[in-house]
Amino acid sequence: MLTLALPSRIGVLGDVHGDMASLVRGGFQVARKHGITHIVQVGDFWLYDPRDLAKIDRQAALHGVEALWFYDGNHENFTTLGDRVDRPGGHRMSEVLTYLGRGTRFSVGRRSAVALGGAASTDRLHNAKNRIEGKGWWAREVITPYDARAAADGGKADILFSHDVSSSGMYAHGLSYRSTDTITEVAERTSRRNLSLVEMEVEPELVVHGHFHLAKISERYASLGRNTKPGFFGILDSETLTVDLLLEGNSSDG
């Protein structure tokens, strides 16, 4: 059984989208520069081919990264993740990489935390050629009532780590729904409603998320940028419950 405890100062990393170069340059290299040894990645990871796992371990060791934890977003291979999604807890995928099932509880320093991955893909229909079920899209991407109950059952937590953000977070960031058709809008609203119910029960003081590719801090909501963009990496201080977004940018080129 993995001990799910992180130090009080950690890195948080935005959507990777299977981009190994950005993980190394915008993740591991930045972590080393700032003395970070543990990173939580907020979903849309998609780097779990055996060759990817071996490279992650090598590069992490080179840069002094001891642990990389991730939970799922909407752009994941849920066939590979399998029933880990339904089982809260830390699931070791390599020496360094651990997947957090939906509703996993852990600590960051002296603070309590819960992770709840998942979101609805807003491009499912207009990008249909890349969103074939079982290849580029899985119905399991959305947050279900079962997921919400698994996340909320542990009671209050200081920090909520999610891929999507609640309706309150949408309002704080000044965001609107992105779906372009009724089918995906229903999925988006249903999934987000389940996340919002978790937030109401957990009452976090800080919410860290991805999904919108937006580097922005709004009230208690810390939104991370995506691979190759500014705000891809942030430093979370659990003592102050703050996230410092690093806005110098990163690139997978060259």
| Per-residue confidence (pLDDT) for residue 254, from 0 to 100 | 34
Range of 114's domain?
A: 8-246
User: What confidence score (pLDDT) does residue 133 get?
Assistant: 78
Is 239 within the bounds of a domain? yes
Q: What is the per-residue pLDDT across 102-145, written as a single tens digit (0 to 9) for each?
A: 999 999 999 999 999 999 998 665 565 666 777 778 999 999 99
Q: State how far Cα 111 lies from the chain centre.
A: 18
Does residue 173 sit within a domain? yes
* 90: pLDDT strictly greater than 80: yes
3-state secondary structure of 13: strand
Could you tell me if residue 122 is inside a domain? yes
The structure tokens listed for 119 are 């979101």
In the chain, the amino acid numbered 192 is R
Give me the sign of the Cα torsion angle 169, 174, 179, 185: positive
Q: Is residue 134 part of a domain?
A: yes
Percent of the chain with pLDDT over 70: 91
User: Rounded to whole angstroms, how far apart are CA atoms 177 and 182?
Assistant: 11
Task: Calculate what percentage of the chain has a pLDDT beyond 90.
Answer: 85
Residue 3 in domain: no
- For 184-201, what is each residue's pLDDT tens digit? 788 899 999 999 999 999
- Number of domains, the chain: 1
Is 19 among the domain residues?
yes
Q: Confirm whether 253 is domain-assigned.
A: no
Residue 252 banded pLDDT, cuts 50, 70, 90: very low
The domain that holds 72 is classified in CATH as 3.60.21.10
Tokens linked to 211: 């999904």
Q: What is the pLDDT of residues 32-73, one digit of tens each?
A: 999 999 999 999 999 999 999 999 999 999 999 999 999 999
Measure Cα distances from 29 to 62, 144, 238 in Å.
9, 36, 22
Cα-atom radius of gyration of the chain, to the nearest Å? 16
pLDDT in tens, 166-175: 999 999 999 9
pLDDT of residue 75 exceeding 60, the answer is yes
Per the CB < 8 A criterion, the answer to whether 165 and 211 are in contact is: yes
Edge-to-edge strands, sheet with 5-6:
5-6, 104-108, 111-116, 159-162, 206-209, 221-223, 216-218
Q: Measured between alpha carbons, how far is 166 from 191 in angstroms, rounded to an integer? A: 9
Q: Going by DSSP bridges, is the β-strand pair 159-162/97-100 parallel, antiparallel, or unpaired?
A: unpaired
Please tell me the pTM assigned to this model.
Answer: 0.94
Domain assignment present for 251: no
Token pair for 249: 């940018």
